[in-house]
Amino acid sequence: MSNILFSKQSGFYKGKVRDVYSIGENLLVMIASNRISAFDVILPKLIPFKGQVLNQIAALMLEKTKDICPNWLINCPTPQASVGYRCNPFKIEMVVRGNLVGHAWRTYALGKRVLCGITMPDGLKENDYFPQPIITPSTKAAEGHDEDISKEEIIAQGLATASEWHQLETYALALFERGRTIAKERGLILADTKYEFGKMGDTIYLMDEIHTPDSSRYFYADGFEERQQTGERQKQLSKEFVREWLIANNFMGKEGQTVPEMSDEWVNTISRRYIELYERVTGKKFEPSDLTEAEIHQRIENFLVGSA
């Protein structure tokens, strides 16, 4: 794919799942691809409609949370693409956890009780609610694995000032609470998620995606308490099932490990799970986009020219 595609394009970055184009000094175009990553590794096969699912859920959630804090989004010229403000990003991810699951549970199960400087209470089972949501930040690595980091280390390393951290923490917890409310209305529990923020001038903006299956973990609310009491596995909508499949096939992104073969049947299963999450979270029927890459680029270009 050419790096020079749009009028006034000034840069290009290929992320794990998104292609990001800088337009002039103040705008970004983000195209959500069908790539899928896990354990910070891009898996070898594309997942049909995944990019559209991510982009459309993110756009909906940004609209539903814009009263909490400013966000970067201006417009979605196609179901796969977003245009928004170019911010100077904080090199941290604000990971908010309402339930003991995923990385937090794996840490807890090893007998550790401190994660990112936060002490987790004794006596919890996997998937239990924390008494209050906690923030366990990680560094935003350009390559390789993100690393856990504490609030104190963030401030000491200059990744955010104390006042910036206070604003980031306030925004993240308020966004998570809104996300849990939206999920509850759809019969879901938002268990954990991550937010990314940046600054434009002196103003902090919410960036990137929000409350999507790549950035969040959802449980089905119906029967959740019963399953917790009986020790049954929770039903969830997230990318965790992909991680679990990789772990079961001896892959966690570590040196020397090989990504297992992804059959066409497994790829289609992943695609269906993403579409299921879209419909469950949004309450809308998923309408697959059949736009070609050339048509996507042309619609974005038309929007950029028209809004100049």
Cα gap 5→38, rounded to integer Å: 29
Q: Give the model's pLDDT for residue 57.
A: 96
Alpha helices in 100-161 (DSSP H): 103-109, 151-156
Confidence category of residue 58, pLDDT binned at 50, 70, 90:
very high
Mean pLDDT value across residues 195-217: 94
| Residue 2 clears pLDDT 60, i.e. is over it | no
Instruction: Check if the beta carbon of residue 304 is closer than 8 Å to that of residue 7.
Output: yes
The DSSP output letter for 145 is -
Return the axis-axis angle of helices 50-65 and 162-185, rounded to nearest 10°. Answer: 110
Gap between the Cα atoms of 34 and 37, Å rounded = 10
For range 1-30, the mean pLDDT: 87
Note the pLDDT of residue 213. Answer: 84
CA angle, residues 187, 80, 308, in degrees to nearest 5: 125
Q: Which domains, from first to last, does the chain contain?
A: 88-308 (3.30.470.20)
Asked if residue 174 has pLDDT above 50, the reply is: yes
- Rounded-to-integer distance, Cα 61 and Cα 116, Å: 27
Per residue in 236-289, pLDDT (tens digit) is 887 888 988 999 999 998 989 999 999 999 999 999 999 988 999 999 999 999
Among candidates 213, 239, 276, which has minimal Cα distance to 55? 213
Q: pLDDT digits over 156-165, tens only? A: 999 999 999 9
Cβ–Cβ under 8 Å, residues 47 and 277: no
By mean pLDDT, which of 64-78, 85-99, 141-155, 251-265 is the weakest? 141-155
Antiparallel, parallel or unpaired: β 118-119 and 236-238: unpaired
- pLDDT of 7: 87
Q: Sorting pLDDT into bands at 50, 70 and 90, what band is 1?
A: very low
The total number of residues shown for the chain amounts to 308
State the pLDDT at residue 145: 62
Residues 198, 171: Cα–Cα separation, whole Å: 12
Q: What's the pLDDT at 238?
A: 78
